[in-house]
């Protein structure tokens, strides 16, 4: 997976998490953003 797609997915999940009103959905999207960010860092730092 290209790093650009990973960064785009982080951005999308963060924006959706900011818009969604329920706390559980915000938490799930925060976890997804964190996992994607960790994966992206692992790919960048190699």
Q: How does 5-26 read in b/e, with b if 16+ C-beta sit within 10 Å? A: ebeebbeebbeebeeeeeeeee
Condensed to tens digits (0 to 9), the pLDDT of residues 5-45 reads 989 999 999 999 899 999 999 999 999 999 999 998 998 88
> Locate tokens 């953003």: which residue?
33
Alpha helices in 1-46 (DSSP H): 3-19, 23-45
pTM: predicted TM-score of the whole model, two decimal places: 0.81
CA nearest to 25, candidates 13, 39, 8: 13
């Amino acid at each position: 997976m290209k790093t650009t797609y990973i960064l785009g997915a982080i951005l999308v999940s963060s924006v959706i998490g900011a818009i969604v009103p329920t706390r559980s959905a915000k938490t799930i999207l925060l976890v997804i953003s964190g996992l994607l960010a960790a994966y992206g860092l692992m790919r960048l730092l190699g």
